[in-house]
Amino acid sequence: MEKQLHLNLLASRPPMAGGLQSGSKMRMGPGRKRDFSPLPWSQYFQTMEDVEVENENGKDIFRIYCSGSHGPVLLLLHGGGHSALSWAVFTAVICSRINCRVVAMDLRAHGDTKVKNPEDLSADTMAKDIGKVVEALYGENPPPIMIIGHSMGGAIAVHTAAANHIPSLLGLCVIDVVEGTAMDALNSMQNFLRSRPKTFKSLENAIEWSVKSGQIRNIESARVSMGGQVKKWEEPISSPGVSNSIGEGIIEEEEEEEPEEESNNKRMKEDDQEIKKESVFTWRVELSKTEKYWEGWFRGLSALFLTCPVPKLLLLAGVDRLDKDLTIGQMQGKFQMQVLPQCGHAVHEDAPEKVADALATFMVRHKFTEFKEGYLC
């Protein structure tokens, strides 16, 4: 069962125990509708900018979102298939807790980052990207930086720290990625990716699927972050196979007002009309094509994590995710661990306040920063 949970390490999926499962329905009560409309990044971050980085083939452009004006920098790295927007709600919360600056970046081939070689998602290349972006932002004297990564981003954070790409590194926080369970899950990853809907009829439709499938349990976070996971379909809507997959994955609301059969027929007609009028959305990242890099992200990760010389925090959705190396390291006090139950894999999206509280407490304890005046922890 835990192996199934860790299929999430590349792209979030619903947990197999507790909460909603894929295919389950949610009863909201008669006539009650939820708002799945997208929310803007500007509601959570102060600025957005594109950072140019030189490479052998020209320039790569990395999209970043920032908040805060003083204090240590929290450099946030998202999971596979996600984007910097997955940190939006967390950013608003952490900035209300402690004095800090936030920089959330779209990793290569993700979100709105544009690189010359988007096929290269090796751990080494992605870790070097982090160092180059930090150098482009701050020059030779960067401020103190705490690097925080979720899932794939957590693995890249460890590789970045271990390679000393950030000379001013304060600490390291890894969220819900452990080598043992990640490696075990890779064999089943392609099956999971094939099970996801390939297209959505609208961004609202994608947000609705993410919440009802359990990929993201926090509807507010889904409304701002799903726009970083999907993009408008670039081929004609009449392309073969497109219309067949538009409705996949959407779990319809149960309505009390009209008979189910009549309601379904009505929805099908409405869907058909909408398909003719609207563009469709598909995933920004074809994760299935990145398989050759998966092992490189995770193999040896526990040993790398334990050897990083800075204070370390590991946040998990379940204690049974620990492998042997981490269990021994935790017993020896080599890192701090906190379990945040009742969360899916996207812990920082599902429970942004809990993650912010854990991180704020960790950073204040290590005297990296202070709580904001008036904030009662």
Question: Is 327 or 163 the better-scoring residue by pLDDT?
Answer: 163
Which residue out of 78, 345, 348, 350 is catalytically annotated? 345
The set of residues, in sequence order, having a beta carbon less than 8 Å from that of 282 and lying 6+ positions away, is 198, 199, 200, 230, 231, 233
Q: Is 366 a catalytic residue?
A: no
What's the confidence (pLDDT) of residue 235?
58
The set of residues, in sequence order, having a beta carbon less than 8 Å from that of 62 and lying 6+ positions away, is 50, 51, 53, 105, 106, 108, 113, 115, 129, 133
Q: Is 225 a catalytic residue?
A: no
Which residue out of 12, 67, 151, 302 is catalytically annotated? 151
What's the confidence (pLDDT) of residue 22?
29
Indicate which CATH number applies to the domain containing 319: 3.40.50.1820
- How much of the chain exceeds pLDDT 90, in percent? 67
Does residue 97 belong to any structural domain of this protein?
A: yes
Does residue 275 belong to any structural domain of this protein?
A: no
Which residue out of 60, 106, 112, 176 is catalytically annotated? 176
Residues 52-84: tens digit of each pLDDT: 999 887 899 999 999 999 999 999 999 999 999
CA distance 94 to 67: 10
- Pick from 51-65, 140-154, 180-194: least confident: 180-194
Does residue 372 belong to any structural domain of this protein?
A: no
Q: In what order do the strands lie in the sheet with 281-283?
A: 199-200, 281-283, 230-232
Q: What is the domain range of residue 101?
A: 41-196+288-366
Position 377 confidence tier, pLDDT thresholds 50, 70, 90:
low
Average pLDDT value for residue range 173-201: 90
Residues 40-49: tens digit of each pLDDT: 999 999 999 9
Distance from first CA to last CA of the chain, Å, rounded?
36
CA-CA distances (angstroms) from residue 179 to 162, 186, 288, 294, 327? 15, 11, 20, 11, 12
Residues 231-270: tens digit of each pLDDT: 998 655 444 444 334 444 444 333 333 444 445 554 544 4
Does residue 6 belong to any structural domain of this protein?
A: no
Q: Residue 143's closest CA among 47, 66, 50, 70?
A: 70
Q: Is 176 a catalytic residue?
A: yes
Q: Which two tokens stand for residue 301?
A: 């990760």
Q: What phi and psi values does residue 348 have, to the nearest 5 degrees? A: -70, -20
What's the confidence (pLDDT) of residue 20?
31
Q: Which position has the token pair 């081929």?
A: 235
Contacts within 8 Å (CB) and 24+ apart, 253-257: 253/26, 253/28, 253/33, 254/25, 254/27, 254/28, 255/30, 255/31, 256/29, 256/30, 256/31, 257/30, 257/31
Centre a 10 Å sphere on the Cβ of residue 228 and count the other Cβ atoms it contains.
Answer: 25
Does residue 16 belong to any structural domain of this protein?
A: no
For the chain, the domain total comes to 1
Q: What phi and psi values does residue 148 have, to the nearest 5 degrees? A: -130, 125
Does residue 86 belong to any structural domain of this protein?
A: yes
